Amino acid sequence: YAMLLSLIFLIVLVAAIVGFVFRHEIKTNFESNLNLALENYNVTADRHSEAVDTIQRTLHCCGVQNYSDWERTEYFSQRGIPRSCCKNQNDCLEEDLKDPNKAKLKVFVDGCFFLVTLTMESKMSVVAGISFGIACFQLIGIILSCCLSRYITNNQYEMV
């Protein structure tokens, strides 16, 4: 049991170290995937399009760096900026969303990449604290299982 807990502890420790070391690559990868999701955004609401809409509605942002990122997409030429960027859903008309100058007044202008990374970094301390707490319980479990093993082994010799 102690060996199993030790193995799990080492796996979690290695995952945390790898995540910390490669955090910049993770950001770059997220940015390129977000750009790709914008390029492939469509009305049929596939899971990538739904994810983009959810991020934009939840964080009150639009595009990757700013709302003008949508101008380079095929979706913009057909329908304009998506409604998930609108500050007020009732005040967003499709013709306003097709004109970047009018849309600037109706949509969130901040990009989602900065807000997502900011939100993730602000929550990192909570994740690190929870992970540290779990690691402490695992270490206590390892120590206690080793003590139990030693106790059982010592008692078997005394009974004989």
55 closest CA partner among 118, 8, 9:
118
What is the rounded CA–CA span in Å between residue 134 and residue 64?
Answer: 35
pLDDT for 79-112, tens place per residue?
888 888 998 888 888 888 888 888 888 899 899 9
The SS3 of residue 110 is strand
Read off the pLDDT of residues 24-65 as tens digits, 9 standing for 90 and up: 888 889 899 998 888 888 866 678 888 899 999 999 999 999
CATH 1.10.1450.10, domain 1-158, yes or no: yes
